[in-house]
Amino acid sequence: MEGLAWEEALVSEGAHPELIHLQAELNKRRDKRLALACRKRVYEVVSANKRRRTNEDAVWSWWKVARDDLQTEMIAETNRKRRKLERERRAIERPQPRRIIFSCLCLYGS
């Protein structure tokens, strides 16, 4: 009985060897879970940042391609318009050739 009373006193004081061992084991497991949770959180933050950067790079790439296509299209349209105006200007500046009507030849040729 005396041994049980002694163990009961140690338990109530929190100084029982098995209680100390179990508490140490629980603390060790808790610390390990906290460390793993912290590492997982850091990994998830890095992964989210990497995905965000990848998506941002994809958007910028798409934007640059669209910009280049628009620029090429606008340059081509401007060149077409310029060539058309130059053709029209040359046509206006060049005297029109006199048209000879061969109506009499057509009548006699048949």
Q: Decide: 16 and 10 in contact? Cβ < 8 Å.
A: yes
Summarize pLDDT for 55-103 with one digit per residue, the tens. Answer: 999 999 999 999 999 999 999 999 999 999 999 999 888 877 777 776 6
With a cut of 80, say whether residue 7 has pLDDT above it: no
Cα–Cα distances in Å, from 16 out to 3, 5, 10, 19, 27? 12, 12, 5, 5, 16
With a cut of 70, say whether residue 35 has pLDDT above it: yes
The owner of tokens 């910028």 is 60
Q: Would you call 78 exposed, middle or buried from its count of C-beta atoms within 10 A (0-12, 13-18, 19+)?
A: exposed
With a cut of 60, say whether residue 106 has pLDDT above it: no
Q: What was the pLDDT predicted at 19?
A: 79
Q: Which comes out higher in pLDDT, residue 23 or 102? A: 23
Q: What was the pLDDT predicted at 107?
A: 54
With a cut of 60, say whether residue 105 has pLDDT above it: no
Confidence of residue 104 (pLDDT cuts 50, 70, 90): low
